[in-house]
A and B are shown apart, each in its own frame.
Chain A
Amino acid sequence: MSLDPLVLEIVLRSLHVTVGALIFSTVIGVPVGTWFALTHFPGKRIFTAFIYTGMGLPPVVVGLVVYLLLSRAGPLGSLDWLFKIEAMILAQTIIATPLIIGVTLSSVLSVEPDLRRQLRALGATRWQTTLSVLYEARFGLIVGLVAGFGSIISEVGAVMLVGGNIEGRTRVLTTAVVLETRRGAFDLALAFGIILLLVALLTNAVLVGLQGRSGRSTP
């Protein structure tokens, strides 16, 4: 298998879906996880239990629900997203968001509780205090991003259901591996698998590198 335009297109589509879903799940997950961690409200333990349960959402079930929502008869059918990239990003966002919320929650909770009080005693506003706490939780947050990236790029069930694995439109690395395996083209399936691993390795190396840099930084 040479790196022909078709393969490159599949790699880029995988990255498109993964990065898109990661951005959405981070934009939702980090503020929600931070709010959960820093706010006291009745029923917080129950909500936390839901979040931790959501971290293990079965992707196929998420795919089925998104499929039903986006199908023509479904409540979101008018969006016309089914078997398109948008549907895949939506499903992956739903899968990754509880993970990002959960990791953010535990990272923020692991920051020394007296730090918030100390920062307020130095004149920090609530917003400045929250940002400083997030800075202290940065290592955990990067771990969350790495885990989120890994779970999205390696997911197959949901994207298969809502994307349909259509050549040139919704085929990504994982669904390509499934297709080539079914066809008996194991060498091609293995090649896609290796590309998938390399992409994941490279991206995680970049994120871990960022983690290392932030650990050494002294702003």
Chain B
Amino acid sequence: MQQTLDQQRQQTKTAAVVASVLWVLTTILGIFTIIYTRIVIFRTYIRFVPEGANALSLFNIIIVLVMASFFIAIVIGGVEYHRTRYGSPQSWRIFAIVLALEIGIVLLPLFL
């Protein structure tokens, strides 16, 4: 029984460390997503609408505002969410979703 409790403590500790590392990772990738979203949208827009360069400054503001909101949600919301749920399936699930989207955005400039 004592061994099982130790194991559980160890597992909880490991889960907390992994969750912290993943949160840091989502935060770092979050910064890149702002930069890359901007690059990809600008580049794609200009390639399809070469005469529409005037709209870029407006796009710039909108993109940065929207992505910054997401970033804040990931950083602060992430802490709040995972602090109480780390190690739970819901927590891992949210990590999977956020990381998938962030990796998707970071990969996008390779293809667009």
Question: Do A and B truly interact?
Answer: no
Binding site for B on A (CB under 8 A): none
Binding site for A on B (CB under 8 A): none
